[in-house]
């Protein structure tokens, strides 16, 4: 991530979108995001 963060385009993108990436207080097993129950799943016929 450090190498990606040095790019000027990436930095310009992170400036307006950074506040949207604030983790919730109840971060789940991933460390940054909350665990949610899957409510919709789309797969090809015959596959789980």
Provide the pLDDT for residue 46: 64
CA-CA distance, 19 to 8, in Å (whole number)?
Answer: 18
Number of Cβ within 10 Å of residue 45's Cβ equals 4
Alpha-carbon Rg for the chain, nearest whole angstrom, is 16
Q: Where are the beta strands (DSSP E) in 1-48?
A: none
Provide the pLDDT for residue 16: 94
CA-CA distance, 1 to 11, in Å (whole number)?
Answer: 12
Provide the pLDDT for residue 47: 60
| pLDDT tens-digit map of 1-48 | 678 889 999 999 989 998 887 777 776 666 666 777 888 888 776 665
Provide the pLDDT for residue 12: 94
Whole-prediction pTM = 0.43
CA-CA distance, 4 to 28, in Å (whole number)?
Answer: 25
């Amino acid at each position: 991530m450090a190498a990606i963060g040095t790019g000027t385009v990436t930095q310009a993108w992170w400036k307006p979108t950074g506040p949207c990436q604030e983790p919730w207080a109840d971060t789940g097993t991933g460390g940054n995001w909350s665990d949610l129950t899957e409510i919709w799943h789309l797969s090809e016929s015959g596959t789980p």
